[in-house]
Chain A
Amino acid sequence: MTDGWEVAGRRFTSRLIVGTGKYRDFEQNAAAVEASGAEIVTVAVRRVNISDPSQPLLTDHIDPKRYTYLPNTAGCFTADEAIRTLRLAREAGGWDLVKLEVLGEARTLYPDMRETLKATEILVKEGFLPMVYCVDDPIAAKQLEEAGAVAIMPLGAPIGSGLGIQNRVTIRLIVEGATVPVLVDAGVGTASDASVAMELGCDGVLMNTAIAEAKDPVRMARAMKLAVESGRLAYLAGRMGQRRYADPSSPLAGLI
């Protein structure tokens, strides 16, 4: 059984999207991406280093022909900054599938939903296909979808916190209400967190720090690949109901 998913008409097999930040070096980064099985990687857009233009580039280590680059707007605190960044990203890579995030404050990196919604509307008018980082709010998610977001990406917990999915109820409500893919973006700390997201019915999970800051990032990348797959399988299989008390698995009849 091939269990793929689709965003904006593009089909992918892996439901894990990984970031490319915080790694020790490009070699480790490339090995972790490989081990994760991810087909999409997020990247940031930054000024070139003019004082040392010979420095190695991400594109030399993680091949944009093999992996779908998903340019982000990390570090942008207004719709205008985010749109400007993505226009440059589109020119640099030719990609219209992008990750929009408009941050509200540095301490929590919580999204500013007013600016996020505004940016989504403008980007859609300009022909972008924005996958949008957002709060875990089913109403905000619906508004983003109406504005043309091609995927809804609620946080599970603050970016880089590794605290895991804090509110399973809201994530589930977003999944139930959405007609576009829903991916948990941010907050995953370890493999079981990724499984939880998938068991809630999410279409995928996006993570960076959980892999990059693991003691062994390559091994954790593989753990995440398996966790996303097993969480998805468990969701499709349909979990058993929960009981308040025990129910024996062995027959009671025929006891000696």
Chain B
Amino acid sequence: MIQDGTLSIRVNGEHRRVRAGMTVAELALELGLEPAKVAVERNLEIVPRSTLGHVMVEDGDEFEIVTFVGGG
């Protein structure tokens, strides 16, 4: 963490800076996403939906946030 109280993370391959002390659910909301409609992987581990509101975003975290799209 750098001194301004923000964290450096990656979301879907893109670098982002977010404030410290937020949960994964809060991160999703801040990104404009409904936590109930997405699945989250944090550092290659699934974050179960039931824990999205408890798991804290840490500096250096790498997130993949996915949803369903059309496919065959």
Contact = CB atoms under 8 A, between A and B. Distances in A.
Interface stretch (A8-16, A89-97, A233-241): A89-97
B4 interface: no
Contacts of B64: 47, 88
A71 B13 CA distance: 22
Contact of A44 (B40, B65, B69): B69
Nearest to B45: A87
Interface in A41-58: 42-48, 50, 53-54, 57-58
B70 to A, nearest CB: 4
B68 A48 contact: no
Interface string B13-39: 110000000000000000111000111
Contacts of A92: 37-39, 66-68
B46 A91 contact: yes
A69 interface: yes
Contact of B68 (A44, A54, A84, A159): A44
Interface stretch (A17-25, A116-124, A190-198): A17-25
Interface residues of A, number: 37
Nearest to A208: B72
Contacts of A69: 68
A84 B41 contact: yes
A91 B39 contact: yes
Nearest to A88: B39
A89 B69 contact: no
Contacts of A242: none
A207 B66 CA distance: 24
Interface SS, A side: mixed
A29 B70 contact: yes
B70 A23 contact: yes
Contacts of B31: 48, 50, 53
Nearest to A159: B72
Interface string A54-65: 100111000010
B3 interface: no
Contact of A48 (B13, B33, B70, B72): B33
A88 B46 contact: yes
A31 interface: no
Given A50-B12, A91-B49, A209 B33 contact: no
Nearest to B32: A53
30 contacts: A19-B70, A21-B70, A22-B70, A43-B70, A44-B71, A45-B68, A45-B69, A47-B65, A48-B65, A50-B14, A50-B33, A50-B65, A53-B32, A53-B33, A57-B37, A57-B67, A57-B68, A59-B68, A72-B71, A72-B72, A84-B44, A88-B39, A88-B41, A89-B39, A91-B39, A91-B40, A91-B47, A91-B48, A92-B38, A92-B66
Interface of B: 11-14, 31-33, 37-41, 44, 46-49, 64-72
Q: Closest 3 CB pairs between A and B?
A: A44-B71, A19-B72, A208-B72
